[in-house]
Structure 1
Amino acid sequence: MDVTTWYLEQTSRSDLLPAGRPAIEAGIVRAEVVSPEFSRFLYTAVGGDWQWTDRLRWTWREWEDLLGGGVETWVAYHRGTPAGYVELTPGRDASVEITCFGLMSWATGRGLGGRLLEVGTARAWDLADRHEDREPTRRVWLHTCSLDGRHALANYRARGFRVYDVIHGAPGDEDEGVTPGPWPGAGPRSPTTEGPRDGDRRECRPR
């Protein structure tokens, strides 16, 4: 399946626009301990419905190398339960990429996606405050595609991200294996029966 991929960016901290208050209370905190087990759980739990497959073959050591390389994981919790997460990957050019972003299926449709993206983007902008070897962030960027949740692109734009490039006809990744989530059939809803949900993100790898 051919897909369209949009690349979006912010080039100033002032580009970030606030989100409305979500319908459920959520605390968003950084997972400061390097934990491949926890990160893989988040990856499968959020990405299971959206064909996130790239990292399923990774070894424990590969997960540890990723997390120990300056990547930050910010997790949203509702009443002590993980609701979604944002993964921030610093680049060599004072940029930060939002490499993973999404919600658990039970947390979607409640306005939490906008709030999580707002906080995650703010933490990308002040990432150097927590890492002495980093220069101040000059750019925050991400990409999304036409296989993503139907509100994803609008959510990014509503937070102040601007499209700077579009690739049409990039190959999709829908044939790369089964993504069971935490276990096969997990989640009260499925995009195969109800369509994409607000706040979800999948990996869309361009050419």
Structure 2
Amino acid sequence: MSTLTVTTWSLEQTSAADLRPAADPGDDIRIVRAEVPSPEFSRFLYASVGGDVHWTDRLGMTYAEWQKWLDRPGVETWVAYEKGTPAGYVELEAQDDGAVEIVYFGLIPAFRGRRIGGHLLSVGVARAWDLAERWPGLPRTERVWLHTCSKDGPHAMDNYLRRGFRLFDTKVEEEMEVSSPGPWPGAAV
């Protein structure tokens, strides 16, 4: 197996006023919270969005591990739909220190480049800032943060910066190059 040099950038917002929302792409796009924790649906989103950009860390999770993750207070999945078809998602995780991490964010390849990503990220970040209102007992959000890396899509970093995120850390590491199966066996890109 060969190695791959991967740059990981960490970005943050420290105030809800930092968010610079993207334009709404129109009536055909809806963004809805997946209120019923569903390992099947979450794994579908993860594999479909991340298959061509080598998301592999969750592929080995069991049904019980997915369920345990999704049942945690302050974990939310927001899904973008175009005319009723899932187009992408943003997954939020509240942390003990008042931070909310955007754990995963992205679009299914067929929906990229259509102005959906900026709107989905805008809604996801806004929901991160008001997360404590939906989860009694969580601390008020003081910070929203995320990681992105050189394996992500070519427009990811620009989208984060346009939404008002600021860079706070950069790491460069060598990783073993792992082949992603894509959203189903044989669908690797």
The question of a shared fold, defined as TM-score above 0.5 by the shorter chain, is answered with: yes
What does residue 121 of structure 2 align with? 117
Q: CA RMSD in A?
A: 1.5
- Output the CA distance in 2 between the equivalents of 1:14 and 1:173: 39
Q: Which runs of 5+ in 2 are unaligned?
A: none
1:12-23 counterparts in 2 under 5 A?
12-22=15-25
TM superposition score normalised by structure 1:
0.85
SS of 1:178's partner is coil
Cα offset for 1:24? 7.2
Are the aligned partners of 1:76 and 1:84 in contact in 2 as well (CA < 8 Å)? yes
Cα offset for 1:2? 1.1
Closer/same/farther in 2, CA of residues 105 and 23 from structure 1, 3 Å limit = farther
Report runs of 4+ in structure 1 exceeding 4 Å deviation: none
Closer/same/farther in 2, CA of residues 68 and 2 from structure 1, 3 Å limit = same
- Output the CA distance in 2 between the equivalents of 1:19 and 1:174: 34
1:58-77 counterparts in 2 under 5 A?
58-70=61-73, 71-77=75-81
Cα offset for 1:127? 0.3
Letter in 2 for 1:9: E
Are the aligned partners of 1:47 and 1:179 in contact in 2 as well (CA < 8 Å)? no
- Output the CA distance in 2 between the equivalents of 1:182 and 1:88: 25
Are the aligned partners of 1:88 and 1:98 in contact in 2 as well (CA < 8 Å)? yes
Are the aligned partners of 2:29 and 2:82 in contact in 1 as well (CA < 8 Å)? yes
- Output the CA distance in 1 between the equivalents of 2:148 and 2:114: 21
- Output the CA distance in 2 between the equivalents of 1:49 and 1:133: 38
Are the aligned partners of 2:89 and 2:107 in contact in 1 as well (CA < 8 Å)? yes
Cα offset for 1:65? 0.5
Q: Which runs of 5+ in 1 are unaligned?
A: 191-207
- Output the CA distance in 1 between the equivalents of 2:33 and 2:6: 33
What does residue 11 of structure 1 align with? 14
- 1:128 and 2:126 are equivalent in the alignment: no
- Output the CA distance in 2 between the equivalents of 1:9 and 1:173: 28
TM superposition score normalised by structure 2:
0.93
Cα offset for 1:174? 2.9
**Structure in which a larger fraction of residues adopt strand:** 2
Cα offset for 1:148? 1.4
Q: 2:30 aligns with which of 15, 22, 27?
A: 27
Are the aligned partners of 1:5 and 1:145 in contact in 2 as well (CA < 8 Å)? yes
Deviates more, 1:23-32 or 1:126-135: 23-32
Letter in 2 for 1:25: D
- Output the CA distance in 2 between the equivalents of 1:19 and 1:25: 16
Identity among equivalent pairs (%) = 56
- Output the CA distance in 2 between the equivalents of 1:151 and 1:126: 26
Are the aligned partners of 1:24 and 1:112 in contact in 2 as well (CA < 8 Å)? no
Letter in 2 for 1:52: W
Are the aligned partners of 2:54 and 2:151 in contact in 1 as well (CA < 8 Å)? no
- Output the CA distance in 2 between the equivalents of 1:24 and 1:173: 43
- Output the CA distance in 1 between the equivalents of 2:84 and 2:101: 27
- Output the CA distance in 2 between the equivalents of 1:121 and 1:178: 28
Letter in 1 for 2:35: E
Deviates more, 1:131-140 or 1:177-186: 177-186
Superposed CA deviations along residues 135-154 of structure 1, whole A, max 9, x for unmatched, are: 21000000111121111111
Closer/same/farther in 2, CA of residues 173 and 90 from structure 1, 3 Å limit = farther
